[in-house]
Structure 1
Amino acid sequence: MNSDGTDGMVAGNRSLSWSAYQVLPPVAVDQLFAPDFANQPLRLSDVAFVPQFEAAAVNWLKKASHEPVEIAKITAKADYLGRLPVRIRSGSPNSFLIWQEVLLSKGLVLLMPETSGDMARLIAAEDTAISNGLGMWRDDAMDEPPYVVAVASDKTLWGRSNLADVKDAIGRFVVVDAVLVSVEHQEWRSYLNFGLDWRRDFTIAIGSDLRDVLVGYKEALDDWIGRKVRVRGVIENRGGPYIALRNINWLCVEAQ
């Protein structure tokens, strides 16, 4: 899914400060070490590892760690496990490989935006894996598909018919693609409706606090009608499948 600067998952770009390091061969996907960080464990920001693909991911990380790398701190604050979120890249200045981007493009990790930086390349990398059915996005890769769509039976929307429907994903964290049909505004939230019957069809609820940060004013959401929306979160059952948006970085809209 392509997203533009206005309707993308984040607003604005933030430059990163990169420094050269050597990463030790990892023993786990979610804990990396570079000697110059004085035993401060690191983790790749903005992605989550899926158990079924951790082995493939750690194999890629081991190979990539043989080369010198550059590391950029996303924040100076460690997470609850004492790990520092970073981005890592390797290769030459003319062809740097951002580790998150490569892993996403292979379908070995799930995009979980957490920072205020530019997500466009990471979004595009994951979209490539989804569109081509790579890694975790392969039809038979997992018992419960991590990618679902609204109105899965409509081939004209998605180009293929064997996709999982959001109605079958109640209680799970998934990535959902859907075409916005209508918007309902209330004082404290707005509802994005993806079917003609909001009582049964897929709905996204956006609280007024997130809505104001995301679009500035609620009527701006009306411009999204007819466009594809991608959201990630836990599907609740509110008569129909429902996501209460928890993080504005977990929502993006197809560019016009």
Structure 2
Amino acid sequence: MTDGDTVVLDSGLTVRLVGMQAPKLALGRDGFASWPQAEEARAALAALVLDRPVRVRYGGERADRHGRALGQVFLDEAGGTWVQQEMLARGLARVYSFPDNRACLAELMAAEGRARAMQLGIWGDPYYMVRRADRPAAFAGRTGQYELVEGRVLVAGAAGGRVYLNFGRRWKEDFTVVIDAGALRLFSDSGLDPLVLQGALIRVRGWLDDRDGPRIEVTHPEQIEVLATR
């Protein structure tokens, strides 16, 4: 067991538990500190799967650039516990998806949501709190972190082949969601026009950067949850 979202099978296959992200461990990386509750997540995953038979199912891209398999993992025994769902239900991971691997996300989001509502695991730690889009100062020092952010879209507009969801009037300082051309094709396929999100209350998840203010670049529709349309 290397961390809270990776397992190594007795066949030698390394499986990244796709659809979720556990708190990251430093694992000897220079200048990288383990995230809070990373050891707890690794211990919980070990208790679930170590020395137990599992099945791996695929629902998208089957391997990452590191050669790890990208699969949903189930205990191969009575009950067939879905490992990703169980980790999320315990509050020891967040939903984390990719444009080429988006299977089962509704069920995983539901498990995460229940744990978040009960403040289980990581959800009781301010490090993982859902940030408010209307408080850009709260993003100070969070650049490069995976974040969940909630807020009401003030303006949705298109420019240069991208869609911008602005949450404040000072676009160089306030939080922004950026949806590029590749992502817009996936939005079209899913039947969601992001321009209709003006005025909507949404939750977005992704990696925070700081280019003309704090922002998250969205690569696929599942990164955005519509909480209320008006």
Please classify the TM superposition score into its range, dividing by the shorter chain length.
Answer: 0.7 to 0.9
**Aligned equivalent of 2:134, options 151, 156, 164:** 151
Indicate the residue corresponding to 2:31 in structure 1: none
CA contact (8 A) 2:3 2:41 kept: no
**Aligned equivalent of 1:107, options 68, 73, 91:** 91
Where in structure 1 do 4 or more consecutive aligned residues deviate above 6 Å? none
Matched letter for residue 47 of structure 2: K
SS at match of 1:244: strand
Q: 1:255 to 1:72 in 2, by over 3 A?
A: farther
Q: CA deviation at 1:219?
A: 9.1
Q: CA deviation at 1:69?
A: 3.5
Q: Normalized against structure 1, the TM-score is what?
A: 0.69
Q: 1:31 to 1:201 in 2, by over 3 A?
A: closer
CA contact (8 A) 1:71 1:86 kept: yes
Q: Cα deviations across residues 208-254 of structure 1 (Å, max 9, x unaligned)? A: 23113213599932332332222223333344322232444433323
Cα distance between partner residues in 2 of 1:54 and 1:220:
37
Cα distance between partner residues in 1 of 2:21 and 2:95:
6
CA contact (8 A) 1:167 1:240 kept: no
Matched, 1:33 2:5: no
Cα distance between partner residues in 1 of 2:75 and 2:118:
25
Q: 1:209 to 1:61 in 2, by over 3 A?
A: closer
Q: Cα deviations across residues 138-189 of structure 1 (Å, max 9, x unaligned)? A: 144x4xx45312135xxxxxxxxxxx96543551321211222221122411
1:71-150 alignment, distance < 5 Å: 71-74=56-59, 77-90=62-75, 96-114=80-98, 115-140=101-126, 142=127, 145=128, 147-150=130-133
Q: 1:165 to 1:232 in 2, by over 3 A?
A: farther
Cα distance between partner residues in 2 of 1:169 and 1:43:
28
Q: Cα deviations across residues 14-36 of structure 1 (Å, max 9, x unaligned)? A: xxxxxxxxxxxx4644542334x
Indicate the residue corresponding to 2:165 in structure 1: 192
Cα distance between partner residues in 1 of 2:218 and 2:115:
24
Which range moved further: 39-48 or 192-201? 192-201
Greater length-normalized contact order (CA 8 Å, ≥ 6 residues apart): 1
Indicate the residue corresponding to 2:46 in structure 1: 62
CA contact (8 A) 1:170 1:235 kept: yes
CA contact (8 A) 2:4 2:43 kept: no
Q: CA deviation at 1:90?
A: 3.2
Number of residue-to-residue matches in the alignment? 214
SS at match of 1:200: coil
Cα distance between partner residues in 1 of 2:196 and 2:92:
34
Larger Rg: 1
- Any unmatched runs of 5+ in structure 1? 1-25, 153-163
- Any unmatched runs of 5+ in structure 2? 26-35
Matched letter for residue 80 of structure 1: R
**Aligned-pair identity (%):** 23
Q: CA deviation at 1:87?
A: 0.9
Q: 1:219 to 1:249 in 2, by over 3 A?
A: closer
Q: Cα deviations across residues 32-54 of structure 1 (Å, max 9, x unaligned)? A: 2334xx32222211222213323
